């Protein structure tokens, strides 16, 4: 570092510049999921970089859920743009859980904030969400099947909770919720095995569903908080909803009188 505090600027790696150029073209050309980028050879020629740099940039975009790489020639050459934000979030959360830079409490608290707000929103606008209510009810019926293996119960449980968040109409929240559930799938299965009996969880699900269906936003929010306590008692000491996962949800609308 020089005496006046300035540091030399490091040269950008070539593939990072390729990423920046692709991002610019996506915005400038109004590209959308389903559109195709130029083939690897053509991109390398247009950008005057090596094919290896283009390939590395496309791998990064694939990992981020932005493109799906395709092998082909002529009009079939080139990666296809996709919209899989949940995939990248899932991988990121799962890795950080394993590295212990995130804890299960962090994950479940975030899930509470997302899901309670979504349940309250769905209850306030229940007339708009017939499809999501139907999806919740189908999941409830599947979870009531006798002798359901823990893995299948978790699949149906995930479908139920995703339907709640889908009722929010917020695609980012849906992606976040999907990532939260997918990143802890193994932990969720283990939790069901430890609980043994899913009666309480299924009763909680029914309570959440009935509150949303009745348009009772406050009850829907309380039911979600109580359910997470029942699902993860080791995290919350089986506390009541008044003290469960950190009290009021910061996503609550201050203009709406909802507890």
Residues 215-248 pLDDT 10s: 999 999 999 999 999 988 888 764 444 344 443 3
Do the domain assignments include residue 4?
no
Q: Answer yes or no: is 109 within a domain.
A: yes
Q: pLDDT per residue over 48-68, tens digit each?
A: 888 888 888 888 888 777 888
Kindly indicate the confidence band of residue 71, based on its pLDDT and cuts at 50, 70 and 90.
Answer: low
**Among 39, 57, 81, where does a domain finish?**
81
CATH number at residue 117: 1.20.120.530
20 and 74 together in one domain = yes
- Helix, coil or strand: residue 36: strand
Mean pLDDT of 6-27: 74
H or E element that contains 11: none
Evaluate if pTM is beyond 0.75. Answer: no
Q: Is residue 254 part of a domain?
A: no
Q: What percent of the chain has pLDDT over 90?
A: 34
Q: Are 138 and 241 found together in one domain?
A: yes
Determine the pLDDT at residue 121: 95
Better-scored residue on pLDDT, 147 or 5: 147
Q: Is residue 77 domain-shared with residue 98, that is, in the same domain? A: no
Q: Are residues 73 and 26 in the same domain?
A: yes
- Read out DSSP for 58-110? HHHHHHTTSEE----SGGG-SPEE---HHHHHHHHHHHHHHTTSS-HHHHHHH
* pLDDT for residue 8: 55
Contact 115, 205 (CB under 8 A): no
Which residue, 34, 54, 81, sits at the end of a domain?
81
pLDDT value of position 3: 55
C-beta neighbour count of 208 within 10 angstroms: 28
Parent domain of 94: 86-246
The answer to whether position 62 is within a domain reads: yes
- Cα(104)–Cα(235) distance, rounded to whole angstroms? 8
29-68 as b/e: b if 16+ CB within 10 A = eeeeeeebbbbbeebbeebebeeebbebbbeebbebbbbe
- For position 11, what pLDDT does the model report? 55
How many domains in the chain?
2
Question: Do the domain assignments include residue 148?
Answer: yes
Residues 33 and 115 in one domain: no
Q: Do 119 and 208 touch, CB atoms closer than 8 A?
A: yes
What per-residue confidence (pLDDT) applies to 148? 93
* 236 within domain boundaries: yes
Question: What pLDDT, on a 0 to 100 scale, did the predictor assign at position 67?
Answer: 84
More confidently predicted of 71 and 137: 137
The winner for highest mean pLDDT among 53-62, 66-75, 131-140, 179-188 is 131-140
- Are 77 and 116 contained in the same domain? no
- What was the pLDDT predicted at 243? 41
Alpha carbon 69 to chain centroid, angstroms: 22
- What would the DSSP string read from start to end of 222-251? HHHHHHHHHH-HHHHTT--TTTGGGSS-TT
The verdict on residue 9 lying in a domain is: no
Do residues 169 and 193 make contact, with C-beta atoms less than 8 angstroms apart?
no
My answer on whether 121 and 230 are in the same domain is yes
Same domain, yes or no, for 128 and 60?
no
Whether 258 is in a domain gets the answer no
pLDDT value of position 22: 83
């Amino acid at each position: 570092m020089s005496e006046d505090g300035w540091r030399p600027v490091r040269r950008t790696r070539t593939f990072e510049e390729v990423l920046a150029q692709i991002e610019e073209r996506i915005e400038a050309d109004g590209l959308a999921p389903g559109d195709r980028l130029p083939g690897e050879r053509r991109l390398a020629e247009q950008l005057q970089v090596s094919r290896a740099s283009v390939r590395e940039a496309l791998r990064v975009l694939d990992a981020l859920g932005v493109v799906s790489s395709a092998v082909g020639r002529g009009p079939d050459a080139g990666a296809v743009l996709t919209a899989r934000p949940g995939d990248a979030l899932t991988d990121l959360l799962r890795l950080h859980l394993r590295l212990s830079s995130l804890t299960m409490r962090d994950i479940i608290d975030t899930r509470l904030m997302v899901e309670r707000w979504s349940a309250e929103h769905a209850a306030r606008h229940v007339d708009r969400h017939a499809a999501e209510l139907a999806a919740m009810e189908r999941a409830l019926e599947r979870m009531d099947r006798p002798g359901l293996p823990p893995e299948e119960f978790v699949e149906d449980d995930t479908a139920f909770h995703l339907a709640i968040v889908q009722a929010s109409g917020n695609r980012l929240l849906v992606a976040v919720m999907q990532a939260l559930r997918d990143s802890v799938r193994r932990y969720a299965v283990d939790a069901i095995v430890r609980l043994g009996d899913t009666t309480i969880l299924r009763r909680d699900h029914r309570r959440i569903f009935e509150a949303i269906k009745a348009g009772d936003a406050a009850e829907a929010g309380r039911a979600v908080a109580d359910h997470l306590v029942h699902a993860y008692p080791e995290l919350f000491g089986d506390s009541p909803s008044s003290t469960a996962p950190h009290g009021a949800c910061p996503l609550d609308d201050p203009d709406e009188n909802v507890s």
